[in-house]
Amino acid sequence: MLRRSARAAGCALLAGTLAAACGSGGGSSSGPASADSLSVGLIAEPASLDFTTTDGAAVPQATLGSIYEGLVRVDQQGKVQPLLAERYERSDDGRTYTFHLRKGVKFTNGAEFTADDAVFSIDRVKKDWKLKTARQMDVVDKAEKTDDHTVRVTLNRPSNGWLYAMTTRIGAMFSRTGVSDLAAHPVGTGPFKLAERRRGDRIVLDRNASYWGTAPALSKVTLKYFKDAGAMNNAMLTGGIDVVGTVQAPESLSRFSDTNRFQVIEGSSTGEVVLSMNNSREPFKDKRVRQAVRYAIDHKALVETSRAGHGKLIGTMASPTDPWYEDLTGRYPYDPDKARQLLKDAGAEGRTVKFRVPNMPYAMSAAQVVVSQLGQVGLKAEIEPLEFPARWLSEVYNKADYDLSVIAHTEPRDLWTFADPGYYFRYDNPEYAKLLKEGDSGKPEDETARYRDAARLLSDDAAADWLYLMPNLMVADKGVAGLPVNQVGEGFDLTGVHWTKKN
């Protein structure tokens, strides 16, 4: 995502990879205007600021946690914590959540945040959102106000995953009087508000003077959008930006070896880089062909070649912060001979497949390695770069017009994407969906076991191939502190960022 990422991002896809540069489609500013402002370079500019109508990870990356907040949030350890709800309770049967809202919270349009807004926001996901991620709210039977600062949400069945889903974009709280133009004028309760948006260039966030919580140290944040990683690096080297939010080409890190000027930050993320196979059409309707692809990929070599070794091998649609995570790379070890035999058995030797790839640096570099390795076992993949996000989302994500693709899915805990036969994977396995449902609606202590079984089934069925887990890899000015080491949610967390010294 498709951030998810790509927003599904990472999609629920990684649209939130970064780049910045001087004079390359990016910002014209030569650096921060004051000691409490920050400039962050990004790639994959959001086409809109409305994540209720626009897929991809770039929109929540820029707005969730900065402009918008939810009733709950996820911390750096992946735990759910109260946010706009100062506390909450879950009923013994797991079907009712009662949220006690903070008082004195205001939206940036001046309206007070009340239980009416919380009910409105939850109902709006169910009634008005058109995106696939909104289906996570289907479990809600009703949301109702019990008083101005108390909301009761009743589920139609117990759900262990719904509260966590409320930490993502579907849990964002909106003003009843502030949704007329979300694409250009987002209204939220967060520590920042939109000051400027210049298409093809930047989004500027100003500190929200009426913020209910601890005021951010930064008075202004500029998110600069650029077209290529080389330009981003030049901007960082010449002081045009202060932070490279996601390093596109890890081999370029040597350019930032001056520890008096730069720091490299590397943590974990929820971005599984998925080699997607269209399960609904030939040749990937045949499980043997999908298995052949998995055996054909030398994942360690791929990460070394395309990411200079920066990427964790996982073999599953889960990240180490998920309670049910286990390393499944051993289920399909590199075995080109077995791959060739499976292709022969399936009658797919010499077959040519359409490999439609978003024109993101990490995706293109991985795709080139995949093409080479598949070619060695007798499967020819022809790369067609697609502009991201618009064309990739239209052709691959929405229409599923592809054979192979590759994208980083940044949505946290996204096993559910394979339970939807209409999702672009087009994977349809009732047993898999049953395991997820049992894990979600059963006893909390059984959730991990059921989800682990589901992940194993998904891997064994070769529904896709998981190339690696994207690291949260950043370069920052030496004087910047408080950047989130681990990417655990969909937003770029700016709340704790501050300067210790301006170079």
Q: How far is CA 345 from CA 340, 348, 498, in A?
A: 9, 8, 59
The answer to whether the CB of 491 falls within 8 A of the CB of 64 is: yes
Q: Residue 172, class by beta-carbon neighbours within 10 Å (0-12 exposed, 13-18 middle, 19+ buried)?
A: buried
Q: What's the maximum distance between 2 C-alpha atoms anywhere in the chain?
A: 67
Distance CA 331, CA 462 (A): 10
The answer to whether the CB of 18 falls within 8 A of the CB of 220 is: no
Tokens of 236: 């960082």
Q: What share of the chain is helix, strand, coil (3-state, %, to 5)?
A: 25, 25, 50
Tokens of 426: 């087009």
User: Considering the entire predicted model, what is its pTM?
Assistant: 0.83
The answer to whether the CB of 334 falls within 8 A of the CB of 298 is: yes
To which residue do tokens 């974990």 refer?
A: 268
| Tally of CB atoms within 10 A around 92 | 6
Distance CA 494, CA 113 (A): 22
Per-position b or e across 13-28, b if 16+ CB within 10 A of its CB: bbbbbbbbbbebbbbe
Distance CA 174, CA 475 (A): 33
From first to last of its 503 residues, the chain has per-residue pLDDT tens of 443 333 333 344 443 443 332 233 333 333 444 679 999 998 888 989 999 999 888 999 999 999 999 999 998 888 899 999 999 999 999 999 999 999 999 999 999 999 999 999 999 999 999 888 899 999 999 999 999 999 999 999 999 999 999 999 999 999 999 999 999 999 999 999 999 999 999 999 999 999 999 999 999 999 999 888 899 899 999 999 999 998 988 999 999 999 999 999 999 999 999 999 999 999 999 999 999 999 999 999 999 999 999 999 999 999 998 999 999 999 999 999 999 999 999 999 999 999 999 999 899 999 999 999 999 999 999 999 999 988 999 999 999 999 999 999 988 899 999 999 999 999 999 999 999 999 999 888 899 999 999 999 999 999 999 999 999 999 999 999 999 999 888 999 999 999 998 76
User: Across-strand partners of 275?
Assistant: 406, 465
User: Across-strand partners of 72?
Assistant: 82
Q: Is the peptide bond before 283 cis (omega within 30 degrees of 0)?
A: yes
